[in-house]
Amino acid sequence: MRTTIFLSLLLLAAVPGTALPALPVSVDGQPLPSLAPVLREVTPSVVNIYTQTRVRVRSPLLDDPIFRRFFNVPDVPRERVSQSLGSGVIVDAKNGYVLTNNHVIARADEIAVGLKDGRSLEATLIGTDPDTDLAVIRIPPEDLKALPLADSDELQVGDFVIAVGNPFGLGQTVTSGIVSALGRTGLRGLEYQNFIQTDASINPGNSGGALINLRGELVGINSAIFTPSGGNVGIGFAIPSSMARYVMDQLTQFGEVRRGTLGIFVQDLTSELAGAFGVELGHGALVAEVAEDSAADEAGLQPGDVIVEMANRPVSNAQDFHYAEGGLALGESLKLKYLRNGKNRTVVLAVRSVPVLDGEDLDWRLAGARFTGLSAKYKQQNLGGVLLESLEPRSRLAREGLTAGDIITGVNRQRVNNLAEFQAVIESRRSSLLLQIRRGGRAYIARID
């Protein structure tokens, strides 16, 4: 049947003087629905992002001094330039702030932004947050139009949404769909996850682009797709605008995200645990550990308590709690509701800064390094130790091959589970430091003299 219709259309088009009927501009006096009016307002705020990264590369032969001397090859490393592309959203026209994904601009040496009107502007990096895969860059604030942010907490499954971005470098492209699901988690490498799932087509290059509602408001930053083949299969993920707004405010104010903590590590309730604690499955997060001297410790929370509400929002599982904690500002007070022995309790906690140790304060050989405790992501993997949060490139640890993100699990053959144990072992050292390191599922040992 479809073939017959197709052939009929071809024959009709081949008959001289015959015209195909055009779609009406209106039906019963009412114009046909179109997204064009909304997109005319939105598309000037969505930009294309192009980056260049210079990577030094060396041939193994060039590392041999005899080879270099014999062939008179200068000891100059070569460079390889890698390019990438993505999308971004102008969120502050007055200051020229553009919101995008961290993975779009990570390690970039040059960032260029292409606007819909044809302009190409050089961008500077304001700050990044790898834990949410968000970043803010800045372009000259000249004749820009910002996209207003909606409250993504009001989204519902079934709401219509539109994705705008730069897939495959083709240029600005618009696709549409619905909100397929909310609160999606499980993507690797990200600390805080609460994704909007949509069937609006999202492809490579769409990263950092806008997911908008039919009012032309930003509800999410397109970030990732689920695909077995590399192309779109109708499962895309966007970071909610509520989280994007919080991260953006932190990055533009401090250049980094300064998160706080309550000092609680939680886990999901299994059916057995839910029965043991007398709560319904999917209605709470079980407190597995309370950090010593934390806000939660001073408020009297204990392992075995079940958190059911945080900051007036229900907590269904560990991810709910972790995501909510990731959006808390330092010094903020919030109400926490929990169950103990089947009885409801309420406490007010103040968010405190995450404890950090400066390496230089511990040992001169650790200068340039900052250490912090492991977050819930690592606790869920049953890992103990301390996190190498940041590291200066020319520091002694960097020369020994350590990188930010490494986990120190032991020192001088003594296991360390937290910052206090790490500090105690370092301060009692006698000579060399033997650091046991875990990176990407593999273990290493580094000797620091």
Give the mean model confidence (pLDDT) for residues 303-318.
86
Instruction: Tell whether pTM > 0.85.
Output: no
| Same-domain status, 66 and 88 | yes
Query: Does residue 26 belong to any structural domain of this protein?
Result: no
Rounded distance between C-alpha atoms, residue 362 and residue 357, angstroms:
8
Q: Which of 44-53, 122-131, 134-143, 364-373 has the lowest mean pLDDT?
A: 364-373
Q: How confident is the model at residue 276 (pLDDT cuts 50, 70, 90)?
A: confident
| Same-domain status, 194 and 282 | no
Residue 298 three-state SS:
helix
* pLDDT of 199 higher than 80: yes
Rounded distance between C-alpha atoms, residue 344 and residue 373, angstroms:
30
| Same-domain status, 344 and 323 | yes
Give the mean model confidence (pLDDT) for residues 45-50.
93
* CATH number, position 61: 2.40.10.10
* CATH number, position 337: 2.30.42.10
Q: Which amino acid is at 30?
A: Q
Q: Which residue in this structure is represented by tokens 């970071």?
A: 239
- Interval 380-406: pLDDT, tens: 566 778 888 778 877 888 888 888 778
Task: Name the average pLDDT for the chain.
Answer: 81
Which of 353, 377, 397 lies at the terminal end of a domain, its last residue?
A: 353
Structural domain count, the chain: 4
φ, ψ of residue 253 to 5 degrees: the values are -90, -40
Give the mean model confidence (pLDDT) for residues 81-108.
89
Which of 204, 231, 254 lies at the terminal end of a domain, its last residue?
A: 254
| CB contact at 8 A, 97 and 211 | no
Give the mean model confidence (pLDDT) for residues 216-220.
94
Query: Does residue 17 belong to any structural domain of this protein?
Result: no
Query: Is position 133 annotated as part of the catalytic site?
Result: yes
Catalytic residue among 84, 152, 207, 241: 207
* pLDDT of 444 higher than 90: no
* pLDDT of 213 higher than 90: yes
pLDDT confidence of residue 3: 37
Q: How confident is the model at residue 220 (pLDDT cuts 50, 70, 90)?
A: very high
pLDDT confidence of residue 72: 61
Higher pLDDT, 154 or 270: 154
Catalytic residue among 84, 103, 201, 305: 103
Query: Is position 432 annotated as part of the catalytic site?
Result: no
* pLDDT of 304 higher than 90: no
φ, ψ of residue 304 to 5 degrees: the values are 105, -20
* pLDDT of 77 higher than 50: yes
Q: Which of 270-284, 305-319, 353-367 has the lowest mean pLDDT?
A: 270-284
Q: How confident is the model at residue 314 (pLDDT cuts 50, 70, 90)?
A: confident
Give the mean model confidence (pLDDT) for residues 209-236.
84
Percentage above 70 pLDDT, the chain: 83
Residue 45 three-state SS:
helix
Instruction: For residue 435, give the nearest of 415, 416, 412 by alpha carbon.
Output: 412
pLDDT confidence of residue 384: 75
- Interval 101-143: pLDDT, tens: 998 988 888 999 999 988 999 999 999 888 889 999 999 999 9
pLDDT confidence of residue 327: 80
Rounded distance between C-alpha atoms, residue 222 and residue 195, angstroms:
9
Which of 321, 353, 385 lies at the terminal end of a domain, its last residue?
A: 353
Percentage above 90 pLDDT, the chain: 26
DSSP at 324: H
Query: Does residue 34 belong to any structural domain of this protein?
Result: no
Q: How confident is the model at residue 262 (pLDDT cuts 50, 70, 90)?
A: confident
Q: Provide the domain limits for residue 374.
A: 356-448
Instruction: For residue 118, give the nearest of 166, 62, 47 by alpha carbon.
Output: 47
Query: Does residue 36 belong to any structural domain of this protein?
Result: no
Query: Does residue 87 belong to any structural domain of this protein?
Result: yes
Query: Does residue 363 belong to any structural domain of this protein?
Result: yes
| Same-domain status, 344 and 270 | yes
| Same-domain status, 159 and 245 | yes
Give the mean model confidence (pLDDT) for residues 199-224.
90
Catalytic residue among 131, 133, 199, 268: 133
| Same-domain status, 348 and 361 | no
| Same-domain status, 232 and 163 | yes
Give the mean model confidence (pLDDT) for residues 190-200.
86
